[in-house]
Amino acid sequence: MSDDAGLDRPHVFLPAEPSAAGPPLLLLHGTGGDERDLLPLRGLLSPGAAVLSVRGSVLENGMPRFFRRLREGVFDEDDLRRRADALAAFVETAGAAYGVDPGALVAVGFSNGANIASALLLRRPGLLRGAVLLSAMVPFAEPPAVDLAGTSVVVSNGRRDPMIPAALTATLVGQLRERGADVVELPHPGGHQIDPGVLPQVRELLGA
C-alpha cells in the first residue's frame, strides 16, 4: 500500500515474479470485501503475475463497494459513471507508478467488482486488455457506443443465482458482443459465488 500522491486509495500491488507467464491482474472485490479478498486468485488464474487490487470507495452499511445502488439490483448509474472514471484514473496512475504497461491489465471482478469492471470496459475502452466477470450484472441500461474489438471478456454467472436471471446475463453478453468484445461464457450450476470449477478454464483462456 502506498501513501504517495495519487496512490492514497487503499490498494495492494504485487510485482510480477520472474516465472510469471500470464497477464497482470486488476482485482476488484465484491460488496463487503477489500483489497485482500481476491489475492488468492493470482495463483489460480495468472501465477506470479503482477497484481493491482483496489478497495471500493463507497460504504453501504459499513461495507465497501465500488459505487452506490438505489436498492438491490438497481444501480445509481450517475454515481457508477463517476466512480468508474475515478477508478480508471487511479489505475492509470498506479500502472505508471508500478511499471505496468498501459492496456495490459485484465480485470477480475466478483459481483460489485464485476459490475465496475464492466463499467470500465464501456467507459474507458483500451484501459484494460480484458476482463473476467464473476457474478456480473448489467452496469448501464443504455451503455455507450464504444469499440471493444480486441478485448477479451469471460462471463461466469451461476444458473441458480437469485440476483441474476439468465435473461440479465444474456443482456450483458449481448451488449459486450455488439460492441466488438470477444466474450466467452462459462456458466456454473451454483448461485451468487465464485465457482472454483470454472477457474482452470479461466486460467487457460488468460494464458492463451
Q: Which of 53, 152, 156, 161 is catalytic?
A: 161
Sketch out the chain's domains with CATH numbers.
11-207 (3.40.50.1820)
H/E segment holding residue 116: helix 112-123
End-to-end, the C-alpha distance of the chain in Å comes to: 31
Residue-wise pLDDT tens digits, 5-14:
479 999 999 9
Question: Which residues contact residue 124 at a Cβ distance below 8 angstroms, ignoring those fewer than 6 apart?
Answer: 84, 85, 88
Q: Which of 11, 46, 53, 111 is catalytic?
A: 111
C-alpha cell belonging to residue 87? 477508478
Q: Which of 2, 76, 182, 192 is catalytic?
A: 192
pLDDT at residue 43 is higher than 90 = yes
Verify whether residue 8 is a known catalytic residue: no
Mean pLDDT of 153-158: 98
How deeply is 194 buried, as exposed, middle or buried, from its count of CB atoms within 10 A (0-12, 13-18, 19+)? buried
pLDDT at residue 193 is higher than 90 = yes
| pLDDT score for 4 | 41
pLDDT at residue 116 is higher than 80 = yes
Verify whether residue 53 is a known catalytic residue: no
Verify whether residue 4 is a known catalytic residue: no
